[in-house]
Structure 1
């Protein structure tokens, strides 16, 4: 059975859903628009389709939606203080055939990365490299950066497959295009795929948080609890036609319709703060009052806050992300807010998984990680004083070597 891995963290787009997609929501993402390579941002869906959302939307899958929301309420297995090692509803798979002779020692671990073209991926790679430092059994760690280019990553994977690597971690740039390269690599060494998916289940494990429906629903449910029936919502989206974003919006639209809230504006920001600010300012001019702001990515949340301030209006309930600049604004301005996360701690998990595989230990075939939501109650867990604006609170990096300096902190 092949895996229609519906990409995480706004990574490459998944193609038409295959049955496993209904089972695994974990591939959808984080959150930030900046994860999309420039040549992958123009999706197949039109702006009109993307803004419509709901059950009839092109990307909506009821079974995947139900599965993700169920997983969001599931207690994880694993260490309470190490969410990057936790698992949601795992189905374990035997890895004895991949066990390294003499155990997982003297390991040459390799990583084919889609790129570091946004702050989320930059923080994530720092996490991964620091995790490697914790394991003396890893004697060599080779990383090749595809720079957001499919053809380069195909070449990178082919190079790493013949470079003496004991295991290969892959974060694909796009879904369908990278599938043959990953399939070929699987015939040569154990492959761990994470964050973004491919349309094959040949990898030993696929690692990602819960997914886009859970993310979008968490943000929308917060607003439906804060805004009275008939209230006006502005929805700020990043790009049309990207499954993770479409799933977030579809889940939100369902929640707003059910609660009787008016979606007064649905606009795409392209991840541009100035555009986001202009959209909110125009909405205030047209509608007079906006009762809530929902976002499928929090990268431009601070700009939305500034639009209300410039108009001399109180900031209504707003959703963002675990990016430090938004958390700082939340703290400084005492916002009524929530911040779903597509946690960067997931970058630690592939290293741990690779060592377990090389040690012949079982791992989940679909390693679904928790997907935290920053709330008023747990805010202090994710806000870290002195961290740079583009840091991410759900990094799970606080006890890693070099923290906080290696992450830009004071």
Structure 2
């Protein structure tokens, strides 16, 4: 499998596929924090700081919105809204893409990175893209800021793609990229500016929190106890997941305790084990599902019934969910979004309008759908994400299996 030219911390990351975090991040990533503290250990929940009622309401509405485009190509779908005119960037020449990536330090990002490179191969062969130079920040804000500044001054870039490491810290660097007058594509996590040509993301953290918390509420009783497992603080899509869930739990009388895990399976197992020693645990909520197996094992080790549980569309959880028969839901932060930035480059090269905020579908996998996703992803590694959306790309399935 071909890879784009890349500078940064890449060697050996694939071995983290079962050990690190999912849907969006890892220690030292969202805020630069490296420690994992739970509220019991002196940490404080920051959901009040992140909760915005208007954003919550908007994402709740978007969960049932009609998406434009072909549902067989969800990576190109979007919710109708303001569009960006890119006619000034139209070109017959192949464009050099400069990609400032937060990291590929967890299975969700590794899956997306493979998909992105397979999409890149298609667009290089068609002459849309000449090359994609990638700098990997290794989950470090300062490194990514330096990467973006390097691209601005030395990269000879035709278009910038940025997947921010954290929200506030990367905002000035993104604005500097915008100031070049060249197209800027932000995806996955947001920043505190709307200067980008497009901001590509699934519906968002509130939608995740709404879907998962409502599922637990529907399957639990008032007064039941839920352990909430959170990766780490400071990233918008993670903080809003918990902010929405906490609101719903409080409104429905669910006793929820949140703990930061650092995406460490041993820490997850310890948190669950300690909670079970203290009393019955009826539900487990996660803001990322790759550590779900460790949580399940903690219940097995204690010889108690499985909880009602939300994980994610990572194969390890889908398989454990099927094997245990627990009551579960697999929320999704659509991994196929890693294709969309490069497809946006193709549209920009043609001078086509693109959504100013490109909101992609985000639909959980239910128990009724689980079997079809398990079958479709048979042979994929545990750290693979079922809704990766790369089945029609070159290298399928080997590129994803041989990571």
TM range, smaller chain: 0.7 to 0.9
1:122 is aligned to 2:110: yes
Displacement of 1:366 in angstroms is 0.6
User: 2:68 aligns to what SS in structure 1?
Assistant: coil
Residue equivalent to 2:15: none
User: 1:390 aligns to what SS in structure 2?
Assistant: coil
Q: Structure 2: any 5+ residue segments left out of the alignment?
A: 1-20
Residue equivalent to 1:258: 251
- How far, CA to CA, are the matches of 2:27 and 2:64 in structure 1? 27
RMSD: 2.5
1:78 is aligned to 2:66: no
- What do the CA deviations read for 1:259-314 (whole angstroms, capped 9, x no partner)? 22233x33222211112112212222221x22211112212211111111111122
Cα distance, 1:50–1:208 mapped onto 2, change above 3 Å: farther
With 246-255 and 126-135 compared, the bigger mean Cα shift is at 246-255
User: 1:360 aligns to what SS in structure 2?
Assistant: coil
Residue equivalent to 2:157: 165
- How far, CA to CA, are the matches of 1:117 and 1:367 in structure 2? 25
Residue equivalent to 1:245: 238
Displacement of 1:36 in angstroms is 5.0
- How far, CA to CA, are the matches of 2:151 and 2:270 in structure 1? 46
With 157-166 and 269-278 compared, the bigger mean Cα shift is at 157-166
- How far, CA to CA, are the matches of 2:198 and 2:25 in structure 1? 26
The answer as to whether partners of 1:90 and 1:368 remain within 8 angstroms in 2 is no
Cα distance, 1:238–1:156 mapped onto 2, change above 3 Å: closer
- How far, CA to CA, are the matches of 1:68 and 1:125 in structure 2? 26
- What do the CA deviations read for 1:213-260 (whole angstroms, capped 9, x no partner)? 111111111111111222222222222444433321221122222222
- How far, CA to CA, are the matches of 1:405 and 1:294 in structure 2? 33
1:401 is aligned to 2:394: yes
- How far, CA to CA, are the matches of 1:399 and 1:41 in structure 2? 38
- How far, CA to CA, are the matches of 2:363 and 2:76 in structure 1? 14
State the aligned residue count: 373
Residue equivalent to 2:359: 368
Scaled by the length of structure 2, the TM-score of the pair is 0.85
With 348-357 and 176-185 compared, the bigger mean Cα shift is at 176-185
- How far, CA to CA, are the matches of 2:323 and 2:112 in structure 1? 26
- How far, CA to CA, are the matches of 1:303 and 1:87 in structure 2? 35
User: 2:186 aligns to what SS in structure 1?
Assistant: strand
Q: Give 2:174's match in structure 1, choosing from 177, 182, 187.
A: 182
- What do the CA deviations read for 1:84-104 (whole angstroms, capped 9, x no partner)? 10102332121111212xx3x
Residue equivalent to 1:324: 315
Matches within 5 A, 1:130-169: 130-135=118-123, 136-137=126-127, 138-161=129-152, 162-169=154-161
Residue equivalent to 1:113: 101
Q: Structure 1: any 5+ residue segments left out of the alignment?
A: 1-28
Displacement of 1:145 in angstroms is 1.8
User: 1:267 aligns to what SS in structure 2?
Assistant: strand
Cα distance, 1:359–1:275 mapped onto 2, change above 3 Å: same
- How far, CA to CA, are the matches of 1:39 and 1:242 in structure 2? 7
- How far, CA to CA, are the matches of 2:150 and 2:212 in structure 1? 42
Residue equivalent to 1:305: 296
